[in-house]
Homo-oligomer: A and B are copies of this chain.
Amino acid sequence: MVESKDVRGPGRPRSERSRRAVLTAARELLTDRGLPGLSVDDIAAHAGVSKNTIYRWWPTKAAVLMDAFTDAAADRIEAPADGDALTRLRSQVRRVAQLMSEPDARRPFVALVAAAQHDTELAAALRERFIAGRRAEASGLIATAIEHGQLPHDLDPDLIIDLIYGALYYRLLVSGAPVDPAYADRLFDALAPIFRT
């Protein structure tokens, strides 16, 4: 992808220092106060940045948060390249569960999902930049596992993903029960009868 944004004429370039200060301030304030009670004025003041600068680069408070989250946590959920397909799938789910168990990652993530419920654009961005990635990867791993005879041919990958990730999100957003890698393992163990070829 061509980074055409960097082809600019004369004039002062965007301050990387400001960008980072905003994202950091957003993360810190979110952890303290939650999405409501997190005002753009506060982020600006806390980052030593003018509101103008924030609105110049992000359309929405949620967009800032999205960047803040992506910036910090998105690269932590890449599945490792080693092991067979089923092992790698379990590993991916464990990583997401691990993320959901750490307050500093869980809080902005929960806030994003909540905000997405009444913000179509944010919902699309969230799916595009986080959810869809996991799903596509998982879907591919399941297909590979089927090919290798590790899973039955008639298995519906999407339904399996709904079940596994659904349980994680259900605890995260609805029941309030804790989510951690051990819980991910329990899920896989419970689903074992379905996975038997």
A170 and B169 contact, CB distance less than 8 A: yes
Question: A194 in the interface, Cβ–Cβ < 8 Å?
Answer: yes
Copy number in this complex?
A: 4
A190 and B170 contact, CB distance less than 8 A: no
We find that the number of chain A residues with CB closer than 8 angstroms to chain B is: 38
Contact with B along A151-191 (1 / 0, CB 8 A): 00000100110110111111101111100000000110011
Main secondary structure of the interface of A (DSSP, over half): helix
User: Which of A15-23, A71-79, A112-120, A139-147 forms part of the interface with chain B?
Assistant: A112-120
Contact with B along A97-128 (1 / 0, CB 8 A): 00000000000001101110110000100010
A residues sitting closer than 8 Å to B (CB atoms) are: 34-36, 110-111, 113-115, 117-118, 123, 127, 131, 135, 156, 159-160, 162-163, 165-171, 173-177, 186-187, 190-191, 193-194, 196
Which 7 pairs between the two chains have the least Cβ-Cβ distance? A166-B166, A166-B170, A114-B117, A166-B167, A193-B193, A34-B118, A162-B167
